[in-house]
Structure 1
């Protein structure tokens, strides 16, 4: 019996937070499989992926995201996949986390995801269906100490994606939450966000390529079923709750 997976060659994907970490790994993997890419990040870093559309911007600004998605659709003629990957974190006791960090987590993690899907969903429906993939977190499945507002933002992402699954399934749109535990990136290292480069906490964490490969697996499953959520943890990370 032959198991028919989805061939992504020629598909069009928009990815936020695409300049480093999980976003960069995913962009490189999808490009290697023939996917045409629209890449948005704060820096607008060009990854050298031939034919990709690259934009700099803040996902928390709806006009910026709408323009990015519209430019991608105009460049490639359609959009099949939207990956809400942009995210920021800040770790510490609830009363000690700076208000500016709290505001940024809500703006980037929650409003940024809403903005991307608001802009991309009409194009994906018009293309006859496709995929929404939200890079959430284990923190969005459990309320974790030292991660109160971050957890809240990730719970919001997971709730949004689950609701969109219910709304869009009959239109051929699959909506999947990816909920990793610790991933070794520069996430939350800068600006006194609770992690420091080289800290023991980072040892043994998963790598961005691990998450990119999982997203690729989700996207290539046959379209007669959908994966609602995947949760994964490094072997060095204890079970919470």
Structure 2
């Protein structure tokens, strides 16, 4: 571990840590001195004594509980739980049938519930401790054609706030991050399936006021702040990492890119 870090000696569990935002958070916390256990559907190679991988699908309560208990048995504690598992869904309300609603909610909402429920006794024992849930910009801003996905991620934010209130006396903080469209393998697959990859990418980039996709590392930085034990007064927060989607007005005549030059806006 790195000497002198506030994460030294702390154990983090990251559900969905094999790719995307979860994997970026794994790298960041390992660099900052934490021990990190990944829960995902597939075992990933690890080459550090401070890095473990456990197979667990968040729709399987038994597998989640077994993996959480294995982490606690190996390292004696769990201080941080990060929920970064999620699947997308496009369409208006009438476009997604009941089976799709059940599946997306089972992963995005109930998957979060299962990991928290399994880890909670360990988190209370390790107090002060924390949970960080990965939600989405759609939880705070209305996006077109995202009814089901919005419902699932909005529920994650509401759940986060309720749990923050419920567990004040237990010394467990609950916060969420709400990323904009983030450069992840899921977005890569979405672009790969598009008829016009260039136009689709331009539309996705235009959602963010700074005119580009959010990086997974930027979201990991926000998660790391919320997980930091020095952030003890940050609780029940939904932290937006979306370049200001939820709070900035961007003129339809143009936007400012990262180089500070004005570019034509692209319709979202």
Q: Which of the five TM-score ranges fits, normalised by the shorter chain?
A: 0.7 to 0.9
The alignment partner of 2:130 has SS state of: strand
Match of 1:129 in 2: 128
TM-score normalised to structure 2 length: 0.79
Shift of 1:144: 2.6
The alignment partner of 1:155 has SS state of: helix
CA distance in 2, matches of 1:71, 1:213: 27
Shift of 1:100: 4.9
Match of 1:226 in 2: 234
Pick the aligned partner of 1:207 from 205, 215, 223: 215
Report if the CA contact (8 A) 1:137-1:181 is conserved.
Answer: yes
What whole-Å deviation, never above 9, does each CA across 1:182-237 have from its counterpart, x for those lacking one? 11112266489986866323441101000001111222252541242211213799
Distance 1:235 1:151, change over 3 A: closer
Unaligned regions of 5+ residues in structure 2, if any?
Answer: 206-211, 251-268
Deviates more, 1:225-234 or 1:99-108: 99-108
- Aligned-pair Cα RMSD in Å: 2.8
CA distance in 2, matches of 1:18, 1:57: 11
CA distance in 1, matches of 2:132, 2:41: 20
CA distance in 1, matches of 2:50, 2:230: 27
Match of 1:106 in 2: 105
Unaligned regions of 5+ residues in structure 1, if any?
Answer: none
- For these two proteins, the number of residue pairs brought into alignment is 236
Shift of 1:143: 3.8
Deviates more, 1:77-86 or 1:191-200: 191-200
CA distance in 2, matches of 1:73, 1:171: 18
Match of 1:92 in 2: 91
The 5-angstrom pairing of residues 69-88 of structure 1 reads 69-88=68-87
Shift of 1:129: 2.5
CA distance in 1, matches of 2:48, 2:230: 27
CA distance in 2, matches of 1:147, 1:214: 24
Report if the CA contact (8 A) 1:15-1:38 is conserved.
Answer: yes
The alignment partner of 2:178 has SS state of: strand
Shift of 1:22: 0.4
CA distance in 1, matches of 2:72, 2:46: 20
Deviates more, 1:21-30 or 1:164-173: 164-173
CA distance in 1, matches of 2:103, 2:48: 29
Is 1:180–2:168 an aligned residue pair? no
Which one has a bigger Cα radius of gyration? 2
Report if the CA contact (8 A) 1:19-1:46 is conserved.
Answer: no
